[in-house]
């Protein structure tokens, strides 16, 4: 592929009235402006040449993909001619395919940071490679998973569409080879949206389209630009046997709404042919892999297109999956005359199917109607890419030296695709940063790029064995972290700049510059240095000597220690095996890891998730991509071995959805570790304290309470012998991506000893201050009721949002604090203000009541976990009855006055509690391009 020349740039600009703000910076990628005068980008991937053409149907200008992707990434191909006849639009004729490289990315620039966009990839295989092999591959938006593209048939046009808020002014769309065929792409579209549209697409989640249907048009019309100013593509959905089309020529008022469906879509609708029937249809979901999704989100559009007589009423209920919303009577819906009304999900919900039923109320004289529906999967967009300063610097370096290798996409993320020659740091609290650059033997020509100075975290920089010319920039001395700079074997000239010299002299920087024949290395007298420099020898030799002096004793010491520890472990092993009744011998069915494997999985234990008495917990990724948490016993931990064994034993025996599950363990010579499922949302403690998330809404708190209670009930009731957890607290309740609760940390847990019918008696009191059962503290006799007590404290934390021990300013236990306040009649003062009154007050009081019973002084007065589970279930029912159907609310009615949906949304925004996880959904409008659009009932079952 050729690079764009200035002339073609000018041509494109004239043709499209392009915004040229970002043009003509470097000679490489992004050399021409990308947006047309709608702010659209429409790329016909694989189209030959440098410009493009106007599509006569949409009137949009389709540009070639030159300038959006490295010229040597992938190859242009045409689909097989049998798929072009009868004619299909030009934009489907060519593809760009990517047989090489795991990740290949398009870069769209000149976007507006903070703006909402629709991004759409288009894929028509058309046997372009003559292999008749339908590929499956993944798409990413930047570093966040978008969807899996699974081509079902050679002539099926597959769309992937996402609505997202762009946080920076450019975005990369990457095709990821998953070893199931060669990735390819036919087209890529970008459309700006008003920020208020699709309120559930926000900074942390994007919406991936599954279905977008326009009910009614019997002529097969597909509506898009210019009928839809945002160029959404609305496929027709008709069922002539069951439904009548209703339509109007009159204008439907869609102004100022949350979704702005186009006129043409709102002007058609359906209603049942048989007036006594309801509207019912199912949208397919199950072809979509669901492990990345936070759940589904729908938007339905309604409008009354007929002027009804006075005594007529069209009123209906809207059910999802036959779920008879408990507040159904209050949400019966009557569409307004010629005004769009919509109803959409409040938060993502993980249904397994999507059956929609519109059912007329008893009072209704007319059957239901619907104009359009959209269904999305919500995906998290919270994965952090490399910090933007490093990205700009390394991208500029890449362009200056025309580096190819695998330098595509994000430089550090995902780790497995990090750019060759770069090393990055992955700190939980900030975006990844580049810590070393090794571009030795890369054939680099020209000067040392000033952009190296912008890699602020770089420690090692190896530019040796290239053809670099010019002088050494003194600015390199500003790199605070730099400890090694290797410039040897180049053609540099000038002298070593003073800033670097100073660092060399004070020993903070090792600079190697041997074999640069024109470089002056000796103050002002410029003599070509031969075979390295004296300075280098002066510095390097002492450093080496010191290193040897220091390292040798350390190595000797380590060698001895290792031998000694090997011996220790040997005896521990023996002790374990002979530990009486065989209860404690470690028979683990789970996978056994070696320490080396853990080292790889955790990328040398880089990312710390948390700290405990046991040691640290690290983030890891298994070969198959599963994220795990690795709890590594630290050598300094005294009780570590015992707790490790207790926990490992418990976890191999028990399996419950509300108990964190163990994936494997490591018992190497002197390393012990447990590998668990990864719980990305951290601990309940952090959520209550507001350290992560936006504070949980009351309903989520109740669910978390119920789920944790179920986990404990399982330990107490289903396990034989029963298990006491002994350290129930909010810091030991972890949340997964769907904010489902699982109890963790069984290091202190104990099993009843039924043989002699007594409780275990110990001489140290286990547990965490604030949570420990006072009765157990007194008698040292733990029981399941001790867990009940601790769980009561957890419930109080959920209700009050306060920690187990408050500083008021004297430390006071939350149990006393709550009882005191309630005794004073200060009921309002107990409930967490952050819930902003958005809760069923009866459910809150009932929960508080359960908590107080759990924390009764006398264990027999406390309920069992089974009682607690039942009671909490009732609380949740109360709350859900208040909110209604699980995830929906009703909005945006056509009537005048204030828009209730806006304020409702504003309130619900606070409580939108699902943020993170990873899910993928494929959007596949499974319609065939030829001979005519098959109006998609294929996927409607």
Ligand X SMILES: *[C@@H]1O[C@H](CO)[C@@H](O)[C@H](O)[C@H]1NC(C)=O
The residues carrying an active-site annotation are 727
With binding defined as CB under 6 A, does residue 481 bind ligand X? no
Q: Is the peptide bond before 288 cis (omega within 30 degrees of 0)?
A: no
What's the burial of 609, exposed, middle or buried (CB within 10 Å: 0-12/13-18/19+)? middle
Would you put residue 911 in left (φ > 0), alpha (ψ -120 to 50) or beta?
alpha
Q: How far is the CB of 311 from ligand X (least distance, A)?
A: 12
Q: How far is the CB of 414 from ligand X (least distance, A)?
A: 22
Which residues ranging from 230 to 249 are in contact with ligand X (CB under 6 A)? none
Q: Smaller CB distance to ligand X: residue 44 or 374?
A: 44
Q: What string marks each residue from 314 to 343 as x (binds ligand X by CB under 6 A) or -?
A: ---------------x--x-----------
Q: Smaller CB distance to ligand X: residue 323 or 460?
A: 460
Q: Which two tokens stand for residue 935?
A: 């109006």
Q: Smaller CB distance to ligand X: residue 312 or 428?
A: 312
HSE on the CB side for 757, CA within 13 Å?
Answer: 0
Residue among 263, 402, 438, 781 that touches ligand X (CB under 6 A): 438
H helices of 592-661, where? 595-601, 640-653
What's the burial of 821, exposed, middle or buried (CB within 10 Å: 0-12/13-18/19+)? middle
Which DSSP letter does residue 811 get? E
Q: Which residues are paired to 131 by β-bridges?
A: none
Q: Smaller CB distance to ligand X: residue 330 or 527?
A: 330
Q: How far is the CB of 70 from ligand X (least distance, A)?
A: 18
Q: Specify whether the CB–CB gap between 55 and 203 falls below 8 A.
A: no
Q: Smaller CB distance to ligand X: residue 222 or 332?
A: 332
Q: How far is the CB of 315 from ligand X (least distance, A)?
A: 6
Residue among 147, 182, 254, 440 that touches ligand X (CB under 6 A): 440
- CA–CA separation, 213 and 374 (whole Å): 6
Start-to-end Cα distance in the chain: 45
Q: How far is the CB of 549 from ligand X (least distance, A)?
A: 23
Q: Smaller CB distance to ligand X: residue 346 or 439?
A: 439
3-state helix, strand, coil in the chain (%, to 5): 25, 25, 50
Q: How far is the CB of 364 from ligand X (least distance, A)?
A: 9
How many amino acids of this chain bind ligand X (CB under 6 A)?
Answer: 14
DSSP per-residue codes, 145-212: EEEEEE--STTBEEEEEEEEE-SSS-EEEEEEEEEES--EESEEEEEEE-TTSSTT--SSEEEEEEEE
Sign of the four-CA dihedral 502, 503, 505, 510: negative
- CA–CA separation, 386 and 849 (whole Å): 49
Q: SS in 3 state form for 461-506? A: EECCCCEECCECCHHHHHCCCCCEEECCCCCCEEECCHHHHHHHHC
Which residues ranging from 889 to 928 are in contact with ligand X (CB under 6 A)? none
Q: Specify whether the CB–CB gap between 271 and 368 falls below 8 A.
A: yes
Q: Specify whether the CB–CB gap between 122 and 157 falls below 8 A.
A: yes
Residue among 53, 323, 337, 460 that touches ligand X (CB under 6 A): 460
Residue among 90, 361, 382, 389 that touches ligand X (CB under 6 A): 361
Residue among 363, 525, 636, 763 that touches ligand X (CB under 6 A): 363
Q: How far is the CB of 332 from ligand X (least distance, A)?
A: 5
For the chain, counts of helices (H) and of strands (E): 15, 45
Q: Smaller CB distance to ligand X: residue 484 or 870?
A: 484
Torsion on CA atoms 138, 142, 145, 150, rounded to nearest 10: -20
Q: SS3 for 333?
A: strand
- Closest among 60, 63, 26, 29 to 43, alpha carbons compared: 63
- CA–CA separation, 686 and 479 (whole Å): 36
Q: How far is the CB of 437 from ligand X (least distance, A)?
A: 9
Which residues ranging from 55 to 84 are in contact with ligand X (CB under 6 A)? 76-78
Q: Which residues are paired to 164 by β-bridges?
A: 117
Q: Smaller CB distance to ligand X: residue 47 or 752?
A: 47
Which DSSP letter does residue 904 get? H
What's the burial of 368, exposed, middle or buried (CB within 10 Å: 0-12/13-18/19+)? buried
Which residues ranging from 94 to 113 are in contact with ligand X (CB under 6 A)? 94
Q: What string marks each residue from 23 to 62 as x (binds ligand X by CB under 6 A) or -?
A: -------------------------x--------------
Residue among 462, 885, 913, 924 that touches ligand X (CB under 6 A): 462
**Residue in this structure with the two tokens 């004619």, named with its chain if needed:** 87
Q: How far is the CB of 472 from ligand X (least distance, A)?
A: 17
| Opening angle at CA 402, ends 396 and 407, nearest 5 | 75
Q: Smaller CB distance to ligand X: residue 440 or 768?
A: 440
- CA–CA separation, 348 and 355 (whole Å): 16
Q: Smaller CB distance to ligand X: residue 484 or 692?
A: 484
Q: Specify whether the CB–CB gap between 879 and 698 falls below 8 A.
A: yes
Backbone angles phi, psi at 337, to 5 degrees: -65, 120
Which residues 6+ apart lie within 8 Å of 607 measured at CB? Answer: 426, 427, 428, 618, 619
Q: Specify whether the CB–CB gap between 218 and 303 falls below 8 A.
A: no
Q: How far is the CB of 510 from ligand X (least distance, A)?
A: 10
Q: Which residues are paired to 921 by β-bridges?
A: none
Q: How many other C-beta atoms can be found within 10 angstroms of the C-beta atom of residue 669?
A: 12
Q: Smaller CB distance to ligand X: residue 234 or 333?
A: 333
Q: How far is the CB of 317 from ligand X (least distance, A)?
A: 9
Q: Smaller CB distance to ligand X: residue 48 or 690?
A: 48
* Cα 804 to the center of its chain, rounded Å: 31
Which residues 6+ apart lie within 8 Å of 34 measured at CB? Answer: 18, 22, 41, 63, 67, 68, 108, 109, 110
Q: Smaller CB distance to ligand X: residue 290 or 459?
A: 459
Q: How far is the CB of 532 from ligand X (least distance, A)?
A: 16
Q: How far is the CB of 361 from ligand X (least distance, A)?
A: 5
**Residue in this structure with the two tokens 């759990």, named with its chain if needed:** 854
**Sites of contact with ligand X (CB under 6 A):** 48, 76-78, 94, 329, 332, 361, 363, 438, 440, 460, 462, 484
């Amino acid at each position: 592929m050729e690079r764009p020349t200035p002339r073609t740039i000018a041509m494109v600009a004239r043709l499209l009235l392009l915004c040229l703000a970002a043009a003509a910076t470097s000679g490489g990628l992004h050399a021409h402006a990308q947006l047309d005068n709608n702010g659209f980008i429409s790329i016909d991937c694989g189209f030959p040449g440098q410009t493009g053409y106007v599509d006569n149907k949409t009137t949009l200008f389709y540009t070639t993909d030159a300038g959006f992707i490295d010229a040597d990434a992938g190859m242009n191909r045409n689909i097989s001619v049998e798929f072009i006849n009868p004619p299909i639009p030009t934009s489907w004729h060519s593809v760009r395919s990517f047989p090489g490289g795991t990740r290949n990315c398009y870069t769209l620039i000149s976007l507006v940071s903070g703006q909402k966009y629709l991004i759409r990839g288009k894929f028509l295989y058309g046997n372009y490679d003559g292999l008749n092999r339908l590929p499956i591959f993944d798409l990413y938006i930047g570093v966040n998973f978008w969807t899996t593209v699974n081509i079902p048939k050679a002539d099926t046009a597959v769309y992937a569409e996402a609505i997202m808020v762009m946080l920076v002014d450019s975005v990369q769309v990457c095709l990821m080879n998953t070893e199931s065929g060669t990735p390819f792409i036919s087209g890529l579209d970008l459309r700006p949206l008003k920020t208020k549209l699709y309120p559930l697409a926000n900074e942390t989640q994007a919406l991936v389209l599954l279905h977008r249907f326009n009910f009614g048009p019997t002529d097969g019309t597909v509506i898009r630009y210019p009928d839809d100013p945002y160029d959404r593509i609305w496929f027709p959905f008709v069922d002539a046997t069951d439904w009548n089309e209703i339509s109007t020529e009159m204008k439907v008022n869609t102004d100022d709404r949350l979704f702005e469906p186009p006129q043409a879509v709102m002007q058609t609708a359906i209603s049942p042919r048989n007036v006594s029937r309801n509207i019912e249809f199912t949208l397919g979901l199950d072809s979509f892999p669901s492990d990345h999704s936070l759940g589904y989100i729908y938007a339905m559009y309604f409008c009354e297109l007929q002027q009804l007589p006075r005594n007529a009423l069209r009123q209906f209920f809207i059910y999802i999956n036959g779920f008879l919303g408990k507040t159904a009577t209050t949400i019966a819906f009557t569409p307004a005359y010629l005004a769009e009304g919509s109803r959409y999900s409040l938060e993502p919900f993980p249904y397994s199917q999507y059956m929609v039923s519109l059912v007329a109320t008893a009072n209704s004289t007319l059957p239901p109607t619907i104009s359009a529906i959209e269904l999305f999967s919500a995906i998290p967009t919270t994965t952090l890419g490399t910090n933007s300063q490093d990205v700009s610097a390394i991208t500029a370096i890449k362009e200056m030296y025309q580096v190819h290798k695998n330098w595509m996409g994000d430089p550090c993320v995902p780790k497995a695709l990090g750019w060759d020659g770069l090393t990055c740091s992955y700190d939980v609290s900030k975006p990844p940063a580049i810590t070393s650059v090794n571009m030795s033997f890369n054939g680099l020509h020209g000067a040392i790029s000033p952009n190296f100075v912008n890699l602020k975290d770089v420690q090692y920089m190896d530019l040796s064995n290239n053809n670099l010319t010019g002088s050494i920039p003194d600015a390199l001395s500003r790199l605070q972290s730099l400890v090694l700079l290797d410039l040897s074997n180049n053609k540099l000239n000038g002298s070593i700049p003073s800033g670097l010299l100073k660092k060399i002299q004070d020993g903070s920087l090792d600079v190697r510059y041997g074999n640069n024949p024109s470089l002056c290395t000796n103050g002002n007298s410029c003599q070509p240095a031969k075979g390295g420099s004296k300075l280098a020898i002066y510095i390097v030799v002492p450093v080496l000597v010191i290193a040897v002096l220091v390292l040798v004793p350390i190595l000797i010491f380590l060698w001895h220690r290792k031998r000694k520890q090997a011996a220790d472990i040997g005896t521990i092993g023996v002790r374990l095996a002979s530990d009486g009744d065989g209860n404690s011998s470690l028979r683990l069915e789970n996978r056994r890891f070696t320490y080396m494997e853990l080292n790889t999985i955790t990328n040398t234990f880089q990312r710390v998730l948390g700290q405990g008495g046991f040691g640290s917990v690290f983030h890891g990724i298994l070969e198959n991509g599963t994220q795990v948490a690795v709890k590594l016993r630290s050598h300094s931990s005294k009780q570590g071995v015992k707790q490790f064994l207790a926990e490992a034993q418990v976890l191999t025996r028990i399996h419950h959805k509300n108990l964190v599950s163990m994936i494997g363990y490591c018992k190497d010579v002197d390393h012990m570790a447990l590998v668990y499922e990864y719980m990305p949302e951290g601990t309940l403690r952090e959520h209550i304290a507001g350290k992560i998330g936006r504070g949980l809404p009351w309903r989520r708190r109740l669910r978390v309470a119920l789920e944790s209670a179920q986990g404990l009930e399982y330990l107490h009731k289903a396990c034989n012998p029963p298990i006491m957890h002994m350290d129930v607290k909010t810091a030991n309740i972890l949340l997964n991506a769907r904010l489902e609760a699982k109890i963790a940390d069984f290091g202190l847990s104990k099993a009843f000893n039924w043989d002699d019918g007594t409780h275990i008696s110990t001489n140290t009191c286990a547990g965490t201050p604030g949570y420990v059962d006072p009765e157990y503290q007194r008698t040292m006799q733990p029981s399941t009721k001790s867990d009940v007590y601790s769980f009561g404290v957890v419930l109080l934390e959920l209700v009050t949002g306060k920690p187990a021990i408050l500083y008021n300013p004297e430390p006071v236990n939350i149990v006393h604090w709550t009882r005191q306040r309630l005794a004073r009649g200060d009921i309002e003062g107990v409930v967490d203000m952050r819930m902003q009154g958005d809760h069923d007050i009866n459910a809150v009081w009932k929960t508080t009541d359960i908590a107080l019973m759990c924390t009764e002084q006398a264990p027999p007065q406390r309920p069992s976990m089974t009682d607690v589970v039942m009671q909490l279930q009732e609380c949740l029912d109360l709350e859900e009855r208040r909110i209604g159907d699980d995830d929906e609310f009703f909005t945006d009615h056509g009537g005048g006055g204030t828009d209730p949906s806006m304020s409702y949304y504003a309130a619900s925004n606070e409580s939108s509690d699902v943020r993170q996880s990873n899910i993928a959904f494929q959007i596949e409008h499974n319609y065939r391009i030829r001979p005519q659009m098959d109006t998609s009932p294929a996927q409607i079952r």
